[in-house]
Structure formats: C-alpha cells, structure tokens
C-alpha cells in the first residue's frame, strides 16, 4: 500500500525528477517549477475548489491524491481546497484507501451536487488548473523560435527525404534562421506542402504547451491532442526518476505538470480555414474559450496551404497577419470584450500554386520577406524521385526503362514533369500488379498502363 501511495504521489506531482538532471531534451525548453502555494499557482482559491468539486462529481467519488493528479497541482494546495469544501458541507469524507490523508475518499453531498450544477452552467472546463496568462507569455518568450540557428547540415538532414534544387535550400536556410514569414509558390504537385510540414523537425524538437490558461477570469483551452504531440517518458528520460522519500530534496526541483512537453507544433490548414479560426472562440456548450490556430502553433509552424483558395479574400487573410508579423504580438478579444496581447512567435508559411501577383499586390507581397519558387523538378531530380518511389516498394529501376518512360511521356508528349508523378505511378503499379495476381514489378507494359491512368 505504501509503495502504491508513493507511485500515486509521484503522478500527482507530475512524476518529475530533479532540476539538476540534464540531457538534450531539457536544453530545448525552460524549467517551470511546480507551484507550492496558492499564490505561486496564480489563480483564485475558488477556481481550485470548483475544479476539485467537478472531479469528485464526474468520478462519483475520489481520493485526495486523485483530485491532486487531475488538477496537476501540489497536494498541499488541493488539501486546502478539500478542507474548504468540507467546511462548506459540499463534500463528505466517506472512507479511506490507506493510512495517509492523501488516500481519504470524498463524495458530494446533496448541497454539493446543487453547487456543481450551478458551476457547470458557468464553465464545463475540468482538468489541470489553468496557467495564468502572464506566466504563459513569459514561458513563450523563454523558448523563442529564433533561438535555434539552422546550419546547412541540419537543413540537408531535415529535408533528406525530399528532393529539391540546392538553390532552394540555400534560400530556405536563412529564411528559417530569421524566423520571418515564408511564401512558397510554384506549379502544383512539386512538394510545397511536404516541404512546409517538414520544417518543424529542423527547428528544434521540444516545446512546453500549457493545458489551459486563464486571462481576466476567462479560461482558454490551449493543448489540443489532435495538433500537439506530447512527448513520452522515453522521449524525456529525465522525467522518469521514480519518487523516493529518501531521494526527495525539495519541491523546488519538481516541474509544473500543467505544462506538457511536446514536439514543436506544426499546423497545416488549407482552403477550409476561415477568419473565425484565427480568433478566440467561445464554446457556448463548454462555456470556455478555445485557442486560435496561431496560439496553438506558438513556438512552431503555421502553414496556410492552398493560399488564395480560402473563402476569405487573400488580401483580407494577409491583413489579419500584418500586425503580428511586424510587431511579434497578436491581439485577441475575450467574450467579455476585453483584449489580451498574445506573443506571436511562430513561423508563418504561405503555400500556393497560383501566381503571386494574381493574389495580392506588391505592397502585400513585400511583407512576406522570403518568397521561394518551388519549380518543376529537373530531369536528374525527377529520376531520383522516381528511384526513391520505387525503392519504397523494394523495386529497382532499370535506367533503360526510365529512359523509355521519360522519353515517351514527357519529352515526346511535351509534358512538364511534376514531383508527385513518380509516387502516383508506383501506386498504379501496385494496383495493376495486384489485379494481375503478380508481385509489384516494372515493365514497359505496366508503365504504359500506369501512364494511361495518370495522364
């Protein structure tokens, strides 16, 4: 039982180890100590008590350590909230799962159930205690995107799975190091989206993302499991030290578990994006705010793919980003009408296959500092892409066969090469071979059938 309590205590304190443990992961993001008092937590005692009450309600019952774990908050702070709820006759102690007070079991009273109904009308948020907005701003500034200077070797390694002209890499490297906006344009199907989504792996790996923040009394949900990739204990090995009373040497060495170590965000939106997704959204059912895309992408990359094909005019879309790009801050309105100033520290990438001058005029284009043309692959680049697409299927390309394919379907046909063609061809080869009851293979006949499907 004691060993079980130790394990649960470790979980409630975030399962963190000592600050002195260093590795490559820790260097990626700042150390945020776990608050040891309500004052350090930075929120009201009423908010902590309400969140504790919700956890007991949704679980039908809960131990003190379970509430502490759910709120990602030090047990001493949660204990004060539970004591207050008991004095207010909103909860009762109905038993214990062990000899220590952390294992006391609590359930709602009739009055407590009425109170929860009232609280849920105001906010259905439950989970970790939100981080104060001013602390969020400080931590964002402590892990700036521009902190990492991209080297040529890092760029080549990060994009080694793609085939591009060296001139593109020569421009892309300085663009990444600057942290300024990037405008990728050129014919469709040549890897603009693949390139944009691959940039995140080059910019450093880790980022702290809060579960939620509170600003002017309003809760904003930030962490989104559909977007943010939380690191596992294996990724962040220094978070795996087991809890030990003997080894424990002070609360100042524990990390705040309300902050989730994540892979740097990389968000891609296309023609479906609308202006409302770039502002705080208040959910009338959940009764709290949802963070906009740029807040979720802070410290990472936000890609506006298929730029110019949104339902919003391109000039309006760029207007939305002018102030953030110029000043490094964005202004968001809460449902109360109050405005908060959000740090804007992300790489904004626009990608389009439309002519830039058909989208916006020169005054707008000059604000997009790095404009990079992703043109059709040259023949040697196309051949390499073709070989890689075949190699993924354990196929070796005969050069005479590739000469035949390029000669007939590009040179004689006067057709432009596209970077996506080889992968599509190999997909057809798979389908045709399966239909013929044979393993995937390359021949003139099968390539001719594939070309008929593709072109």
List pLDDT tens digits, range 264-292.
Answer: 898 999 888 889 999 999 999 999 999 99
Q: Residue 280 contacts by C-beta under 8 Å, 6 or more apart in sequence?
A: 220, 289, 290, 291, 292, 332, 333, 334, 335
Reduce the DSSP state of residue 129 to 3 states and report it. Answer: coil
Reduce the DSSP state of residue 245 to 3 states and report it. Answer: coil
- Domains of the chain, CATH where assigned: 2-127 (1.10.10.10), 142-373 (3.40.50.300), 379-454 (1.10.8)
The C-alpha atoms of residue 298 and residue 348 are separated, in whole angstroms, by 10
Other C-beta atoms closer than 10 Å to the C-beta of 387 total 17
Residue 129: φ, ψ to 5°: -60, 130
End-to-end CA distance of the chain: 69
Q: Residue 291 contacts by C-beta under 8 Å, 6 or more apart in sequence?
A: 220, 221, 222, 224, 280
Angle, helices 421-435/379-391, rounded to nearest 10 degrees: 40
**Nearest-CA neighbor of 12 among 22, 1, 4?**
4
Start-end of H helices in 266-413: 293-296, 314-327, 356-359, 362-365, 379-391, 399-406
Reduce the DSSP state of residue 215 to 3 states and report it. Answer: strand
**Nearest-CA neighbor of 127 among 199, 59, 51?**
51
The C-alpha atoms of residue 148 and residue 150 are separated, in whole angstroms, by 6
Instruction: Quote the DSSP letter at residue 413.
Output: T
Q: Are 17 and 24 in contact (CB under 8 A)?
A: no
85, 132, 228, 252, 319 from 37: Cα distances, Å: 18, 14, 29, 12, 43
The C-alpha atoms of residue 452 and residue 432 are separated, in whole angstroms, by 12
The neighbouring-strand residues paired with 92 are 107
CA angle, residues 367, 370, 374, in degrees to nearest 5? 130
CA atoms within 13 A on the CB side of 233: 9
Environment class of residue 115 by beta-carbon count within 10 Å: exposed (0-12), middle (13-18) or buried (19+)? buried
**Nearest-CA neighbor of 331 among 320, 317, 346?**
320
Kind of pairing between the strands at 281-283 and 259-263: unpaired
Start-end of H helices in 104-230: 110-122, 133-142, 152-158, 166-178, 192-198
Q: Are 203 and 301 in contact (CB under 8 A)?
A: yes
pLDDT for the residue numbered 415? 96
* Both structure tokens of 8: 């649960």
pLDDT for the residue numbered 31? 86
Other C-beta atoms closer than 10 Å to the C-beta of 90 total 23
The C-alpha atoms of residue 129 and residue 72 are separated, in whole angstroms, by 7
The list of the chain residues with pLDDT below 70 reads 1-28, 146-148, 204-205, 234-253
Kind of pairing between the strands at 206-210 and 218-221: unpaired
pLDDT for the residue numbered 235? 65
Other C-beta atoms closer than 10 Å to the C-beta of 132 total 16
44, 360, 439, 440 from 435: Cα distances, Å: 66, 48, 10, 10
């Amino acid at each position: 039982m004691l060993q079980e309590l130790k394990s649960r205590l470790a979980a409630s304190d975030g399962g963190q180890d000592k600050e002195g443990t260093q590795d490559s992961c820790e260097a990626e993001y700042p150390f945020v100590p776990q608050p040891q008092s309500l004052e350090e937590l930075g929120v009201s005692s009423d908010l902590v008590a309400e969140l504790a009450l919700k956890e007991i309600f949704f679980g039908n019952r809960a131990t003190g350590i379970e509430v502490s774990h759910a709120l990602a908050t030090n047990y001493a702070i949660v204990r004060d909230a539970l004591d207050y709820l008991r004095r207010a006759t909103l909860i009762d102690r109905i038993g214990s799962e062990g000899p220590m007070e952390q294992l006391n079991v609590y359930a709602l009273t009739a009055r407590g159930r009425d109170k929860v109904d009232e609280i849920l009308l105001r906010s259905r948020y439950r989970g970790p205690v939100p981080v104060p907005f001013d602390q969020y701003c400080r931590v964002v500034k402590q892990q700036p995107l521009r902190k990492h200077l991209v080297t040529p070797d890092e760029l080549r390694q990060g994009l080694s799975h793609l085939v591009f002209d060296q001139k593109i890499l020569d421009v892309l490297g300085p663009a990444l190091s600057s942290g300024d906006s990037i405008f990728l344009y050129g014919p469709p199907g040549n890897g603009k989206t693949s390139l944009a989504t691959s940039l995140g792996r080059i910019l450093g790996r880790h980022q702290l993302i809060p579960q939620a923040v509170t600003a002017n009394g309003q809760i904003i949900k930030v962490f989104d499991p559909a977007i943010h990739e939380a690191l596992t204990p294996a990724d962040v090995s220094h978070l795996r030290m087991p809890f030990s009373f003997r080894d424990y040497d002070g609360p100042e060495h524990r990390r705040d578990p309300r902050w989730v170590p994540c892979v740097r965000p990389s968000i891609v939106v296309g023609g479906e994006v609308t202006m409302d997704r770039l502002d705080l959204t208040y959910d009338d059912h959940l009764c709290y705010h949802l963070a906009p895309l740029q807040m979720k992408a802070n410290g990472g990359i936000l890609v506006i793919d298929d730029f110019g094909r949104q339902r919003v005019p391109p000039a309006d879309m760029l207007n939305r980003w002018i102030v953030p790009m110029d000043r490094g801050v964005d202004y968001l309105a809460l449902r109360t009408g109050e405005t908060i100033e959000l740090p804007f520290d992300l790489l904004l990438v626009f990608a389009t296959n439309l002519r830039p001058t058909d989208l916006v005029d020169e005054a707008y284009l000059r604000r997009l500092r790095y404009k990079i043309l992703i043109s059709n692959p040259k023949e040697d680049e196309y051949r390499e892409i073709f070989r890689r697409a075949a190699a993924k299927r354990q196929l070796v390309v005969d050069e005479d066969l590739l000469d035949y394919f390029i000669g007939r379907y590009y040179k004689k046909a006067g057709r432009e090469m596209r970077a996506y063609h080889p992968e599509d061809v190999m997909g057809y080869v798979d389908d045709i071979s399966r239909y013929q009851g044979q393993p995937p293979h390359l021949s003139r006949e099968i390539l001719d059938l594939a070309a008929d499907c593709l072109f």
